[in-house]
Structure 1
Amino acid sequence: MIYAGFIISAFITVWAAVKLSTYADVIGEQTKLGGMLAGTLLLAGATSLPEVTTSLTAVYLNNPDIAVSNVFGSNLFNILILAVFDLIYRKSHIFRSIDKSHQYAAWIGITMTAVVFLPMIVPYHFSFFSVGIEMILMVIIYLIGLWVLSRHQEPVQNEIIPPTVFNDHHKNAISLKEASYGFAAASVFTLIAGSFLTITGDAIAIATGLGSSFMGTFLIAGATSLPEVVAVLVAVQLGNHALAVGNILGSNMFNLLILALVDAALRGEAVLQAVHPVTLITILTVLLLTSTALFGMNWIKRAEQNSKWHTLPSSVIVIMYVILSYLIFIYG
C-alpha cells in the first residue's frame, strides 16, 4: 500500500510539474522576468515545494536526518538532472545558452552551501530566536544574490524547437491571467503530493531498514526532485534553456532556505549537528558537482561550437554521482 501511495504521489507531482513549467514560461515571456528569473524565482520556488513539505514533515516525525539529507540530496540530484539532459540533448549545447546570471546563481549556491557546511565540522552553535546564525547569514546571502541576479540578467536567444507533446498548447495561447491562476493551482497540487511523498517515503525507509541518510539522499530526494526533472524537460522542449538551467540553480538556492525553516522548527536544537556523518560526503559532493557545472558553463561558452569535449563536465558529474551513491549506500 505504501509503495502504491508513493508511486501515485510521484505521478501527481510529475503532472503538476508539466503545468508549472509551461505557466512559468508564459509568465517569464509576458512579464519583465525573462527566462532566468522566471526559472530562479517562480519555477524554482514552486518545484521546491515537495522539499519544503518533506523536510518539515521529517521534523514532525522526529527524523531531522531525513530533513537535511533530503535537501542536499535534492541539490545533488538536481545537478545530475542538468548533466543528464545536457548529455541527452548534446546537440543543443544547453550550457552554451547560459549567461553571466547563471554563473552568478551557481556561485551563490556554492557560497550558501559552504556557509551551512562549516557548522557541521566545527563544534559550535549560536542561535537567534531558535535559528542558527549560519542560517540567518545564508538567508542574507540568498536575498543579496537575488538582487544581483535581477541586475545582471541578459537576454538569451532560445532555439526554435518543433511542436511536441509538451508545447502543443503553445504559450502564446495562454493569457498572463490564466498562467498566474494555473501556476498557483499547480503549486498547490505539488505541495500536497510532496507531503504524501514524505509520509510514504518514511514508511518505506522503516519497512526496508535502509538508513535515513540513504533514503533521504536518494529515494526521497529523487522523488521530490521529479518536478525539476519534468520542468527541465519541458523547458528544453520549449527551447528555453535559460529557464531550464535557471530552474535547477534556483531550486538549489531555494532548497537551502528550507534548512532555516527546519532549524526554527526544531526550536533550539542544531539541526546540522543532528545528522549522520555521511551527510558530510553528500555536501562536499554538492560543492564539487556544482563547481564542475560552473566550470562547464565557462569552458563550453568559450569552446568551439563543434567541440567533441563539450559534454565532458556533464560526464564527470554523472560519474561522481554514481561513486557517491555507492559510498552512502555502504556507509549510510
Structure 2
Amino acid sequence: MISTYASPWLEFLLCLIVIGYAGVKLSVFGDVIADKTGLGGSWVGLIMLATVTSLPELVTGVISVSVAGLPDIAVGNVLGACVMNLFIFVLLDFLHRGESVFQKSSQGHILSASFGVLMISFVGFSLLLSHHGYQLSFGYVGLYTFIIVIMYGVMVRSVFYYEKKHMAAFADHAPDRRPDLSLFQSVARFAAAAIVVVVAATALPFVGEHIAQDMGWHQSFVGTIFIAFATTIPEIVVSIAAMRIGALNMAVANLLGSNLFNIFILAIDDVFYTRGPLLAHVSPVHGVSAFSAVMMISLAIIGLFYRPNGRVLYTVGWTSLCMFAVYLFNTYILYLYEH
C-alpha cells in the first residue's frame, strides 16, 4: 500500500513523465510548423510554444486571485517563473556541448529579450509606485494592466514582421524536411500535444501544494518557490527537447517568450482580482524578483550580442555564470525576507 507521503510524489512524477513525452512532440511538430510556414523557429517558440507552456501560470494565477484570494501567490508565481525561465537558459548552456548557447543562437532574440527588459522593469516600476500610493486605475483594474496589454501586442507584431522579413529568403529555397506531413496534420498533432501538456501541467501546482503540506514546508517561501518551479516544468522539458532535436532557436525563444506571456498573465490576473489594482495589494519584495529578471535578461542580451568564447571549467560561460549568481541572490533575498 502506498503511503500518504509517497502518493503526492508519485503523482508529481507521473505529471513529469506525461509532460516529458508530450513536450518532445510539441518541439518536433513546432519545428515542422516553423519549417512549413517559413516563420522560423524563433517566432513559433516565442508565441506558440511560450503560450502553451505558460498556461499553468495563467491557471494558477487566476485561481489564486479569484478563488483563493492570494494575490501574493499569483504575483510571486509569475515573477518567480520569469526568474526560473532565465535559469533554464543557464541550464541549456550547460547541456549544450561545443559552442555556447549564446554563440549558436540567433541575434534576433535580442529583440524579444529587449521587450522582456521593458515589460518586466515596467512591472517593477509600477509595483514600487503602487506600494507608495501612487497609482492610476479604471475601477479596480490598474492603468498598468492596459499598458502591459498594449506592450504585448506591439511585441507580437514586431517579432512577427522581423521573423517574416529575415526568414523570407530561407523559406523560398529550403527543402521541406517532412514532406510526409501536411501543415494541417502538423498543427493538429501540435494541438493534441499541447492539450496533454496543459492538462498535466495544470495539475502540478495542486500536487505541489499537497507535497508542501505533507512535508510541513513553510508555505509563504517554499510554497511560492515550489509552485513557480512546478509551473515552469513545461518550459524546462520543451526547451531541452527542442535543443536536442537541433531547434536551439526555438528553445531560446520559448524561454524569452514565456517571460513575456507571464507579464501578460499578470494583466489577466489584475482583471480577475476585484479588490483593487493587483500590485497595490502585494508585498514590495516581489520587486526583487522583477529586477533580478531584468538583470538576467540584460546579461543574456550582452551574451547574444557579444557572443563570448570559452567556458568556466568546461561547464558554462561567464555570462551564464553571472546569470546563475543573480538567480541565487534573488532566492537568498526572498529567503531572508520570509524568515
Is TM-score (shorter-chain normalized) higher than 0.5?
Answer: yes
- Give unpaired runs (5+ residues) of structure 2: 1-6, 171-176
CA distance in 2, matches of 1:27, 1:131: 37
User: In 2 relative to 1, CA 124–3 (structure 1 residues): closer, same or farther, beyond 3 Å?
Assistant: farther
Whether 1:282 aligns to 2:292 is no
**Distance apart, 1:214 and its partner CA:** 4.0
Q: CA deviation at 1:225?
A: 1.2
Aligned residues: 316
Alpha-carbon distance between aligned partners in 2 of 1:321 and 1:254, rounded to the nearest angstrom: 20
TM-score of the aligned structures, taking structure 1 as reference length: 0.87
Query: Hey, what does 1:180 align to over in structure 2?
Result: 187
Q: Cα deviations across residues 96-148 of structure 1 (Å, max 9, x unaligned)? A: 23334310100101111111112211123322354321111011111111221
Aligned with residue 115 of structure 1, among 99, 102, 122: 122
Secondary structure of 2:282's partner? coil
Match of 2:109 in 1: 102
> Paired residue for 2:150?
140
CA distance in 2: counterparts of 1:64 and 1:274, whole angstroms: 7
Kept in 1, the 8 Å contact 2:205–2:230? The answer is: no
Structure 1 residue aligned with 2:47: 41
Residue 264 of structure 2 aligns to a residue whose secondary structure is: helix
**Alignment CA distance shift 1:273-1:6 (3 Å):** farther
* TM-score between both structures, scaled by the size of structure 2: 0.85
Could you list the runs of 5+ residues in structure 1 that have no partner in the other structure? 159-169
Aligned to 1:189: 196
Structure-2 change in CA distance of 1:128 and 1:188 (3 Å): farther
User: What secondary structure, in the 3-state scheme, does the structure 2 residue paired with 1:225 have?
Assistant: helix
Task: Identify the range of structure 1 (239-248 vs 115-124) with the bigger mean alpha-carbon deviation.
Answer: 115-124
One of 48, 52, 56 as aligned partner of 2:58? 52
Q: Deviations over 1:36-65 (max 9, x none)?
A: 101111111111111111211222222221
Is 1:210–2:218 an aligned residue pair? yes
Greater Cα shift, 80-89 or 170-179: 170-179
Q: 1:308 to 1:82 in 2, by over 3 A?
A: closer
The residue type equivalent to 1:104 in the other structure is: L
User: Who is 1:15 aligned against?
Assistant: 21
Give the ranges of 4+ consecutive aligned residues of structure 1 lying more than 6 Å apart after TM superposition.
none
Q: 1:245 to 1:6 in 2, by over 3 A?
A: same
Identical columns (%): 30
1:326 aligns with 332
Of 289, 292, 295, the residue aligned with 2:299 is: 292
RMSD (Å), alpha carbons: 2.4
Task: For 2:31 and 2:21, locate their aligned partners in 1 and report how far apart those are by CA, in whole Å.
Answer: 16
Alpha-carbon distance change, 96 to 155 in structure 1, aligned in 2, over 3 angstroms: farther
Matches of 1:318 and 1:325, distance apart in 2: 11
Deviation, structure 1 residue 215: 2.2
Rounded to whole Å, the distance in 2 between the matches of 1:172 and 1:68 is: 44
The residue that corresponds to 1:162 in the other structure is none
- Structure 1 letter corresponding to 2:240: L
Distance verdict in 2 for CA 1:31–1:141, change over 3 Å: same
Q: Does 1:131 align with 2:141?
A: yes
Instruction: Choose 144-153 or 243-252, whichever is displaced more.
Output: 144-153
Greater C-alpha Rg: 2
2:253 maps to: 246
**CA–CA distance in structure 1, aligned partners of residues 161 and 26 of structure 2:** 25
